[in-house]
């Protein structure tokens, strides 16, 4: 099943419930309402999106572990990436054009329900913004920083993005 098909077969409310349960349960009511509105707009945008390209990837959902400190137990989390079968590698999806991923097949290695699948995908693709313009601005900022070869800290990057 593709991302487009999954979105068309799902309603937004249970998808946002998944986002809330997995990412936002400790946020204030005002913040949750703001995120709900933002994700709703993304959901509608994706539902009506026309494809502009087709990558030779699959949207790949798996579980990863990350160790933050030496003495801590590894923290498990759901990871969403793009899987290239020919190279047998997973790459980041967060800065990929939404029009390029909308018709990609989804490979869910965790057997999640469709609302959790969509919730995790939405979380990942909106990591740097809730609009195509915000994500493109972030890409431009990264490109500018790499061309200038000047290290930029995450707080500086976020400030520069919020000023745009």
What residue ranges do the domains of the chain occupy?
Answer: 3-128, 131-164
Between CA 114 and CA 7 the distance in angstroms is 9
Between CA 92 and CA 29 the distance in angstroms is 31
User: What local confidence, expressed as pLDDT, does residue 14 receive?
Assistant: 98
User: What local confidence, expressed as pLDDT, does residue 153 receive?
Assistant: 74
Between CA 39 and CA 124 the distance in angstroms is 12
Between CA 113 and CA 12 the distance in angstroms is 14
Between CA 70 and CA 25 the distance in angstroms is 28
pLDDT digits (tens, 9 = 90+) for 26-44: 999 999 999 999 999 999 9
User: What local confidence, expressed as pLDDT, does residue 108 receive?
Assistant: 97
User: What local confidence, expressed as pLDDT, does residue 115 receive?
Assistant: 98
Between CA 133 and CA 136 the distance in angstroms is 5
pLDDT digits (tens, 9 = 90+) for 5-29: 999 999 999 999 999 999 999 999 9
Q: How far lies 47's CA from each of 13, 14, 66, 97, 137, in Å? A: 14, 16, 33, 15, 23
The SS3 call for residue 121 is: helix
| pLDDT beneath 70, residues of the chain | 53-54, 149-152, 164
Alpha-helical segments (H) within the chain: 3-8, 12-19, 29-47, 98-101, 114-125, 132-148, 154-162
């Amino acid at each position: 099943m593709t991302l487009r098909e999954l979105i068309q077969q799902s309603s937004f409310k249970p998808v946002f419930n998944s986002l809330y349960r997995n990412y936002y349960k400790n946020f204030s009511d005002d913040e949750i309402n703001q995120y709900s509105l933002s994700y709703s707009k993304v959901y509608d945008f994706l539902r009506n999106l026309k494809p502009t390209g087709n990558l030779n990837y699959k949207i790949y959902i798996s579980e990863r572990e990350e160790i933050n400190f030496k003495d801590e137990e590894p923290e498990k989390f759901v990871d969403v990436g793009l899987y290239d079968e020919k190279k047998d590698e997973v790459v980041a999806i967060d800065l990929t054009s939404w029009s390029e991923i909308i018709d990609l097949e989804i490979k869910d290695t965790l057997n999640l329900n469709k609302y959790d699948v969509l919730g995790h995908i939405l979380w990942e693709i909106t990591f740097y913004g809730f609009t195509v313009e915000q994500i493109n601005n972030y890409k431009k900022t990264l490109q500018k920083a790499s061309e200038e070869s000047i290290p930029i800290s995450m707080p500086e990057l976020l400030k520069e993005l919020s000023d745009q």
